[in-house]
């Protein structure tokens, strides 16, 4: 067993990390309290209220809980497990999460039948098993991502990564996304509880349409860039690592022009999300390789070409659906566009693609990621070009982080 790492410089570094986290928590709490000032809620806000994700309570509970575990780990009578054992714990944690994900899918198919009780018991057992090892797994995930970031030059002058990599592996919230009906535009985002049912999702979407005449969709998220970030524990370890890196990049961008101008335009939203996606993939892939020895080779997608006769290309079909829907909306044919998107959803369902709803809000959300089949943005190709010009991943991310407008980014590429 290795000796406990308890040197004074390390302790000072950890105290500094805690101070940064405390300041971030205080600022966030002040902002949330200010945002909660007195006002008269609308009927829709009252309808949404029972399903909202309580961000303030979540932040307060998780920040101090993580500090507690980190402080306890510093005591000399709690020597750290060898790295191999911690990695084995992480692999077991995510194996359990994938099993829970599969069981939750089974609950939707068995209905109110006798197998439900056994499935729910097993899910409860999984929660207990994960809770026992969660703090150790979060720390190994954070340390592996931090090691990659340190190698790419993200350590500050005072010797720490700012903001520190900090994540909670649990149930990532759902998200209510709205868009105007006459165009595809990401208008509002409301965090909801993870366990919201299909019926409750339909209720909120229909209520939003009826009362505000907005297209709406409730989507699951794999992670949310709170601080600490929350990342789904129901995915594979590889996917969790890339998501933790993705959400950390959003936290890091927040202190730079790219993140500060996130909401300025649809192009800036897409530039932010796609930069975090590509950077998160590369960071997460490296961390996963360091933990398991398995190397991911992500080659850029080939340029689109004609599909073989009779072949079905999901990405091409989704992009064509979006293009045609936008043409109908641009011509003022809103009802026809909505009927067309539903018709396309049913066509995809017959081919085995289970998508609950396709509407303007669906494309507004998923289209924010240029790597998605729901996007028609050129940003992915443009960012990949910038990455090829950059000698290192760190150089690429630091370059893109300094742009405050999409036009600045394009002008830089043209140089």
Whether 154 is in a domain gets the answer yes
Q: In Å, how far are 29, 57, 143, 144, 156 from 25, measured between CA atoms? A: 6, 11, 21, 24, 21
Q: For residue 200, how many other CB atoms are within 10 A of its CB?
A: 16
Backbone φ/ψ region at 272: left (φ over 0), alpha (ψ -120 to 50), beta: alpha
Answer for the pair 171, 154: CB distance below 8 angstroms, yes or no.
no
pLDDT confidence of residue 45: 76
Distance CA 293, CA 252 (A): 28
- pTM score: 0.83
Nearest to 221 by CA among 174, 166, 262: 174
- Report yes or no on 219 lying in a domain: no
Whether 90 contacts 140, CB under 8 Å: yes
Closest CA to 175 of 188, 159, 166: 188
The total of structural domains in the chain comes to 1
pLDDT per residue of the chain (415 residues) written in tens, 0 to 9:
333 332 333 333 443 444 455 555 555 555 444 444 455 667 777 888 899 998 888 777 776 666 655 665 555 656 677 889 999 999 999 999 999 988 887 876 666 666 788 888 999 999 999 999 998 999 999 999 999 999 999 998 888 899 999 999 998 999 999 999 999 999 999 999 988 888 999 999 999 999 999 999 999 999 998 888 999 998 899 999 999 999 999 999 999 999 999 999 999 999 999 999 999 999 999 999 999 999 988 776 666 666 666 678 999 999 999 999 999 999 999 999 999 999 999 999 999 999 999 999 999 999 999 999 999 999 999 999 999 999 999 999 999 999 999 999 999 999 8
Identify whether 264 is part of a domain.
no
How far apart CA 372 and CA 321 sit, in angstroms, is 13
**In 3-state terms, what secondary structure has residue 6?**
coil
State how far the Cα of 304 lies from the Cα of 45, in Å rounded to an integer: 44
Q: Is the previous residue joined to 163 through a cis bond, with omega within 30 degrees of 0?
A: yes
In the DSSP assignment, the letter for residue 262 is G
Phi/psi for 217 (5° steps) reads: -150, 140
Classify residue 215 by burial, with Cβ atoms within 10 Å: 0-12, 13-18, 19+: buried
Going by C-alpha positions, the residue among 267, 180, 263, 266 that lies closest to residue 216 is 180
For 213, residues 6+ apart whose C-beta sits below 8 A from its C-beta are 181
**CA-wise closest residue to 102 among 270, 235, 260:** 235
Q: State the pLDDT at residue 8.
A: 31
Contact 119, 103 (CB under 8 A): yes
The reply to whether 273 falls in a domain is no
CA distances from 101 to 98, 106, 118, 388, 390 (A): 5, 9, 15, 37, 38
DSSP calls for 224-237? E--SSEEEESSS-H
CA distance 166 to 219: 24
Name every residue whose Cβ is closer than 8 Å to that of residue 197 and which is 6 or more positions away in sequence: none
Note down the domain range covering 49. 8-168
Residue 229 lies in a domain: no
Please tell me whether residue 52 adopts helix, strand or coil conformation.
Answer: strand
The alpha-helical segments, DSSP class H, found in 152-214 are 198-212
For residue 57, being part of any structural domain is answered with yes
Q: Which pLDDT tens digit goes with each residue over 316-370?
A: 999 999 999 999 999 999 999 999 999 999 999 999 999 999 999 999 999 999 9
Strands 167-170 and 229-232: parallel
Within-domain flag for 377:
no
């Amino acid at each position: 067993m290795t000796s406990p790492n308890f040197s004074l410089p390390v302790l000072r570094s950890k105290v500094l990390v805690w101070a940064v986290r405390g300041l971030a928590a205080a600022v966030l709490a002040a902002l949330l309290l200010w945002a909660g000032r007195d006002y008269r809620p609308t009927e829709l806000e009252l309808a949404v209220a029972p399903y909202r994700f309580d961000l303030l309570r979540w932040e307060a509970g998780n920040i101090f809980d993580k500090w507690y575990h980190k402080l306890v780990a510093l005591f000399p009578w709690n020597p750290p497990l060898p790295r191999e054992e911690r990695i084995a714990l992480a692999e077991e944690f995510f194996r359990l999460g994938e099993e829970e994900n599969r069981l939750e899918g089974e609950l939707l198919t068995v209905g109110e039948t006798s197998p439900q009780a056994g499935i729910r018991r097993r899910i409860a057992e999984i929660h207990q098993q994960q809770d026992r090892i969660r703090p150790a797994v979060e720390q190994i995930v954070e340390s592996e991502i931090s090691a990659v970031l340190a190698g790419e030059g993200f350590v500050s002058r005072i010797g720490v990564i700012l903001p520190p990599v900090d994540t909670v592996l649990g149930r990532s919230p759902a998200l209510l996304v709205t868009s105007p009906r006459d165009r595809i535009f990401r208008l509002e985002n409301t965090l909801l509880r993870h366990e919201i049912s299909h019926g409750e999702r339909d209720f909120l979407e229909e209520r939003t349409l009826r009362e505000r005449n907005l297209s709406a969709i409730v989507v699951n998220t794999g992670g949310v860039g709170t601080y600490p970030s929350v990342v789904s524990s129901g995915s594979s370890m590889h996917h969790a690592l890339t998501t933790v890196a993705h959400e950390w990049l959003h936290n890091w961008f927040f202190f730079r022009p790219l993140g500060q101008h996130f909401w300025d335009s649809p192009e800036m939203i897409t530039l932010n999300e796609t930069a975090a996606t590509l950077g998160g993939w590369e960071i997460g892939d490296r961390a996963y390789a360091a933990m398991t020895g398995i190397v991911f080779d992500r080659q850029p997608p080939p340029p689109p070409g004609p599909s073989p006769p009779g072949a079905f290309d999901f990405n091409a079909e989704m992009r064509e659906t979006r293009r045609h829907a936008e043409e109908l909306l641009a011509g003022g044919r809103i009802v026809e566009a909505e009927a067309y998107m539903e018709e396309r959803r049913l066509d995809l369902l017959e081919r085995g693609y289970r998508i609950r709803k396709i509407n303007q809000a669906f494309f507004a959300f998923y289209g924010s990621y240029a790597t998605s089949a729901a996007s028609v943005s050129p940003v992915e190709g443009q960012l990949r070009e910038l990455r090829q010009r950059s000698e290192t991943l760190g150089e690429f991310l630091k370059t893109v982080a300094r742009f405050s407008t999409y036009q600045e980014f394009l002008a830089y590429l043209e140089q």
